[in-house]
Amino acid sequence: MEMPQTDGANALALQDDVQVRKTPNYALLARMMIREGKTFRDSAIAAGYSESVAGRGLRALMADSEPLAEAIRREEKNISVNMDRLKPLAINRLYHEILNPASNNGMKAIELAGKFKETDWFVRQSETNLGILINMGDAIPVPDEKQVIDVVKE
């Protein structure tokens, strides 16, 4: 014969069945998507959203959740600030590659440094390249008929 459960035991059993709703981590979702390049669905589930919310998509969630939209704007702003700090580091790295005579990447570093808008060492327009070749061709003396015959006889 089973003993009847008391109200306290019923309450504990019901409490185990109820899932506790956790608050989504907006910053984690934004970081995973923007910095780590994860998909929205995976990021949303890891950040505490349900499968159904993750399946709706980023646009729908941003329309419904102002805190998420703000977290994404903050993360994008941090990325642009980091890009402003990254360019001087990249230029410094290229500089050291160019100065190092033992480096195998020196020529590649020169090519990359020449593509910056501040240096722009390389011509990118095909018309200009043709103009340079035509001018070079004009500067080469054309042999006259006698010189050609003398070369052929030799």
What integer pLDDT is reported at residue 109 of this predicted model?
A: 85
What is d(CA 150, CA 147) in angstroms, rounded to the nearest whole number? 5
What integer pLDDT is reported at residue 54 of this predicted model?
A: 93
The model carries a pTM of 0.45
User: What is the domain count for the chain?
Assistant: 1
In a domain? residue 32:
yes
In a domain? residue 94:
yes
Asked if residues 72 and 28 have their Cβ atoms less than 8 Å apart, the reply is: no
Q: Give the contacts of 29 (CB within 8 A, at least 6 positions apart).
A: 43, 44, 46, 47, 49, 68, 71, 72
* Three-state DSSP class for residue 87: helix
What integer pLDDT is reported at residue 28 of this predicted model?
A: 94
In a domain? residue 122:
yes
Asked if residues 112 and 91 have their Cβ atoms less than 8 Å apart, the reply is: no
What is d(CA 65, CA 53) in angstroms, rounded to the nearest whole number? 11
In a domain? residue 71:
yes
In a domain? residue 91:
yes
Reported as a single tens digit per residue, the pLDDT across 26-68 is: 999 999 999 899 999 999 999 999 999 999 999 999 999 999 9
What is d(CA 18, CA 151) in angstroms, rounded to the nearest whole number? 100
In a domain? residue 121:
yes
Is the model's pLDDT at 16 over the cut of 80? no
In a domain? residue 1:
no
Residue 5 corresponds to which tokens in the numbers above?
Answer: 């459960």
What integer pLDDT is reported at residue 111 of this predicted model?
A: 83
What is d(CA 53, CA 45) in angstroms, rounded to the nearest whole number? 9
SS3 assignment for 33-68: HHCCCCCHHHHHHHCCCCHHHHHHCHHHHHHHCHHH
Burial of 38 (0-12, 13-18, 19+ CB in 10 A): middle
Structural domain for 52, as ranges: 12-153
What is d(CA 43, CA 68) in angstroms, rounded to the nearest whole number? 12
Q: Which residue has the higher pLDDT, 65 or 5?
A: 65
In a domain? residue 115:
yes
Reported as a single tens digit per residue, the pLDDT across 90-144 is: 888 888 888 888 888 888 888 888 887 777 776 555 555 555 555 655 556 666 6
Residue 23 corresponds to which tokens in the numbers above?
Answer: 């608050």
